[in-house]
Amino acid sequence: MPITRTARPVSPARTALVSGAGVAGLATAYWLRRHGWTTTVVERAPAVRTGGHAIDVRGVALAVLERMGLLDQVRQARTRTRGMTMLDGDGREQWRSTEMALSSGRLDSDDCELLREDLTRLLYERTAPETEFLFGDSVVTLDGTPAGTDRTDGPDGPDGPEGIRVGFEHAPDRTFDLVVGADGLHSTVRRLAFGEEARFAHHLGSYVGVFSTDNFLGLEDWQVWSQDETTTTCVYPVRDNTELRATVGFRSEPLADHDHRDTDAHRTLLADRLAHLGGDTPRLLKAMHTAPDFYFDAMAQIRMDRWSRGRTVLVGDAGYCPSPLSGQGTSLALVGAYVLADELAKAGGDHRVALPRYEERLRPFVTLNQALATENPGNPAAEESVDRAKNALSLDA
């Protein structure tokens, strides 16, 4: 059954449903509420999700956190990395660095790397007092259209004068002035409003799994990477070096009949693809099979000609996932949430004016940041490209 957390009563205002309680959804709910909206967040999981890898917040996204009053707390929660080692597939050291890490870039940068779960916790604590949360629930229809049904009602989608009717898996149907899809790469809201995922997803040539385990390697603020022609692994310690976060992946064309929710099949697939690796990889794969927070998916981007239809709009990975290969998914989510709410405020809440302006203002920023994932395949983008992309938008435009 769904778990409902009800916010404090507020005066009548425009209402928004945000699907997804990740970075994009929580930030969107916060900024809409700041501009006077009554906000509801629906999340399939029973609570804000834990686990996940370390994420980066860069450039203008740091300014968004500062305006939320969270920047100091984010900096306090940042990972502590002294450097990294690169091994070959047999576990032999190839090189090491105390100036950079592949996960975060230069270690002397003002950018901030922290665990995804730490950022979502901070965002939730800032958002929850004035936002209603529907945990353990999900959107199943928008104005009567079920998931998986291609829209046929014209380019503008449903735009009734009384709002948009939302059907939930558990909660009663409700009408909102705006629906925000912030539900990630496999967005249900996107399917409802725009059609099937295959029309917008672009595979980037690899798959990756992420999980937590005990620090059986005894690493101290140090990353260890391993790479050969087809596979990559990365482990780094967190929580004062008491546990490891691991990323394991392989290069591949799109897998036939890939079900992104079949975790047992994913574990088996990764174990098979990485079985030839030496060093500590066998121990790592053994830990993967019992990890409670295992996650697996393709490295892919979402590319769309538009991010809104009628009263429905997409934010973050749902609309413009750049893939973890760009290092900019979190920053795009934070900046996108801010720009959307800002444009709605400037338009007096009129979505017909605000949503095109949101797209016009944000798209050049998205384009530059998505390009980071494909600029130098198999390796990080150039520092100059990252610096240009992460700052390519003004919050006060």
Q: What CA–CA distance (Å, rounded) separates 103 from 178?
A: 36
Rg for the chain, CA atoms, rounded: 21
Rounded percentage of the chain residues whose pLDDT exceeds 70: 92
Q: Output the pLDDT for position 3.
A: 62
Please, which residues have CB within 8 angstroms of residue 69's CB and are 6 or more apart in sequence?
Answer: 126
Q: Output the pLDDT for position 104.
A: 85
Q: Output the pLDDT for position 156.
A: 45
- 8 A C-beta contact, residue 364 and residue 394: no
Q: What CA–CA distance (Å, rounded) separates 373 from 327?
A: 8
Low-confidence ranges of the chain (pLDDT < 50): 7-11, 147-156
H or E stretch at 33: helix 23-34
Q: Output the pLDDT for position 8.
A: 44
Q: What CA–CA distance (Å, rounded) separates 54 from 238?
A: 9
Q: Which domains does the chain have, with CATH numbers?
A: 3-51+119-200+301-390 (3.50.50.60), 81-113+204-300 (3.30.9.30)
Asked whether the whole model's pTM tops 0.85, one would answer yes
Q: Output the pLDDT for position 361.
A: 98
Q: Output the pLDDT for position 12.
A: 56
